[in-house]
Amino acid sequence: MASDVRQRMIEGAMTLLAQRGLQSTSFSEVVATTGAPRGSLYHHFPDGKDQLVAAAIDLAGDVLIDFMNRCPGSSAEAVVQHFLLIWRTVLTRSGCESGCAVLAVTVATDSSDLLAHATAVFRTWRTCLADLLKRAGLPDDDARRFAMVLIASVEGAVVLSRAERSLEPFEAVAQQLVEQARRLQEHIK
């Protein structure tokens, strides 16, 4: 039961980070969003907001990795399409009002510990994508570089789509990434 409350608070914090950013995600907001008793915040996160935020970005990282580990395709294009699907879904379900909790922390934190934590999540994503791209046949260097391009491009596209409240920027970037994946795949045939 206590772990359910803790998990609900982490999920709530992750959602708030993705919607409102780091500064607007407070303990009070997490309590209001999740219905958790206020005292449980201090029980489960005795080190304060940074501990809750770290757990929330870990969860965001795990959600993406779990999704990518179910990637159905064996081609670079399929990997890219699968990666794009999670972000397209985030934007669509939120009416272009949510983005990436990890990015929200990265751009707003003044805590070196939280920045290091976010960096570790991004590295894990890059490693996962690079491994999937290598299994699709891309050479090691191409896979690593393209994994970085995928993350940077999609994060930027999500930001632009949120700013414009439109999927148009995301879809334009998505199209370019799929075409790049096809070109990379053609070079290995």
Instruction: Classify residue 51: in a domain, yes or no.
Output: no
Instruction: Classify residue 180: in a domain, yes or no.
Output: yes
Is the pLDDT at 2 greater than 70, yes or no?
Answer: no
Indicate which CATH number applies to the domain containing 96. 1.10.357.10
Q: For tokens 């395709």, name the residue.
A: 73
Rounded Cα gap, residues 54 and 163, in angstroms? 26
Is the pLDDT at 1 greater than 80, yes or no?
Answer: no
C-beta separation of 104 from 174 below 8 A? no
With the CA atoms of 78, 59, 161 and 111 taken in that order, what torsion angle do they form, in degrees rounded to the nearest 10? -130
Average pLDDT over residues 116-128: 97
Domain count, the chain: 1
pTM equals: 0.93
* DSSP notation for 43-70: HH-TT-HHHHHHHHHHHHHHHHHHHHTT
Instruction: Classify residue 34: in a domain, yes or no.
Output: no
Rounded Cα gap, residues 5 and 39, in angstroms? 11
Average pLDDT over residues 6-27: 93
- Identify the H or E element spanning 163: helix 140-164
3 falls in which pLDDT band (50, 70, 90)? Answer: confident
Instruction: Classify residue 22: in a domain, yes or no.
Output: no
Instruction: Classify residue 35: in a domain, yes or no.
Output: no
Q: Which two tokens stand for residue 33?
A: 């969003």
145-163 pLDDT tens trace? 999 999 999 999 999 999 9
